[in-house]
Amino acid sequence: MRKRSIIQMVLVGALAGAAVAVVAYFIPWLPDAASEEATSIDRLYWFVTIVCIAIFSLVAAVTIYSVWKFRAPPDDNEDGSPIHGHTGLEIVWTAVPAALVTAISIVSAIVLIGVEDAPAGSRKVDVSAQQFAWSFSYPGTNVTSGQLVLEVDKAVQLTLTSKDVIHSFWVPEFRMKQDAVPGTATHVVITPTKVGTYEVICTELCGLGHSVMRSQAVVLGPADYEKWLSKQKSGGAAAGGGGSDGKGKDAAFVRTSIVDPDAELAPGFQPGIMPKTFGDQLSDEQLDALVKYLLDSTKGG
Ligand SMILES: [Cu+2]
């Protein structure tokens, strides 16, 4: 009888574990990794997930088995028999979770030290956050961009600051996440491993425009990266710009961007997203006022 109960409980646990394992494995919870740091973070994620699945299976097995096996018949209104503690069981259910949590802490600390360490010769980029935009500048050059442009397989250390409230920098494919805090500098190291364009997301509720506080991280091959950098240094066009690099500051550009938003697109942006009806909806005076407001309010930034 006892043996049969154990087999039934193991079966229930195996079914519950298999069900959550399917949910964990087959649903793409995170996009494909695109940085070196992401590899060790994903390994840690799976370690924690497997521990959780094991604990869940155990708890589900005992709970479901007990509810099913010891349920009261419909006409039974008596109290259950009193149960006293079980010292051995209590020691086990305290010691095992304590050991697991300690193991998770140790493995997490090892991964954290590894991903926070900037390798010698890392590139540097200063990241400035403000409601509701990101700006990336490249120390030692005059280059400031609205997009984070990186070279593939080269480690870069980002130094983050904020001009107003707390923001948080996150590129899901890189996995690394770091707060940008006013009055202090924080750091994060990223070694992109795949050429492509990824979304930079603010993950700290920072005000009304928080959900639109997005930019792109563009990872280029070595030749393309050098080409981009030298083009930026020579003050060339808004490639990768979309921000404060010279061109975006004159009134004619701002006016064109409002009435004909697809006229000039920064790389990574799709045409046809912004409405093209403002030219018809607004009078010339209203457009002038809007352009003046936008120029005045972005002065110095
Ligand atoms: Cu935000």
Q: Is residue 105 part of a domain?
A: yes
Ligand 1 mean position, distance from CA 260 (Å): 28
pLDDT value, residue 240: 42
pLDDT value, residue 268: 57
Q: Is residue 80 part of a domain?
A: no
Confidence band of 1 (pLDDT split at 50, 70, 90): low
Q: Is the pLDDT of residue 5 over 70?
A: yes
Q: What average pLDDT does this structure show over 281-296?
A: 91
Ligand 1 mean position, distance from CA 52 (Å): 31
Q: Is residue 288 part of a domain?
A: yes
Query: Residue ranges of the alpha helices (H) in 196-274?
Result: 222-233, 251-259
Say whether both 150 and 111 belong to one domain.
Answer: no
Say whether both 48 and 140 belong to one domain.
Answer: no
Q: What average pLDDT does this structure show over 273-296?
A: 88
Q: Is the pLDDT of residue 218 over 90?
A: yes
The owner of tokens 């002065």 is 299
Confidence band of 243 (pLDDT split at 50, 70, 90): very low
pTM of the prediction?
A: 0.71
pLDDT value, residue 235: 64
Query: Residue ranges of the alpha helices (H) in 70-217?
Result: 87-116
Domain that residue 103 falls in: 2-69+90-116
Q: Name the domain count of the chain.
A: 3
Q: Is the pLDDT of residue 264 over 90?
A: no
Ligand 1 mean position, distance from CA 277 (Å): 28
Say whether both 219 and 278 belong to one domain.
Answer: no
Q: From 294, 259, 293, select the one nearest 276 (Cα to Cα).
A: 259
Ligand 1 mean position, distance from CA 291 (Å): 25
Ligand 1 mean position, distance from CA 178 (Å): 12
Q: Is residue 77 part of a domain?
A: no
Round to whole Å and give the CA distance between 124 and 136: 10
DSSP state of 210: G
Ligand 1 mean position, distance from CA 171 (Å): 13
Q: What average pLDDT does this structure show over 29-33?
A: 92
Say whether both 11 and 111 belong to one domain.
Answer: yes
Could you tell me where the beta strands, DSSP code E, fall in 120-251?
Answer: 123-130, 133-137, 144-145, 148-151, 156-162, 167-170, 177-180, 186-190, 196-202, 214-220
Say whether both 150 and 205 belong to one domain.
Answer: yes
Q: Is residue 78 part of a domain?
A: no
Give per-residue pLDDT as tens, 161-217. 999 999 999 999 999 999 999 999 999 999 999 999 999 999 999 988 898 889 999
Q: Is residue 277 part of a domain?
A: yes
Exposure of 150 in the CB half-sphere (CA atoms within 13 A)? 33
Say whether both 166 and 233 belong to one domain.
Answer: yes
Q: Is residue 174 part of a domain?
A: yes
Q: Is residue 85 part of a domain?
A: no
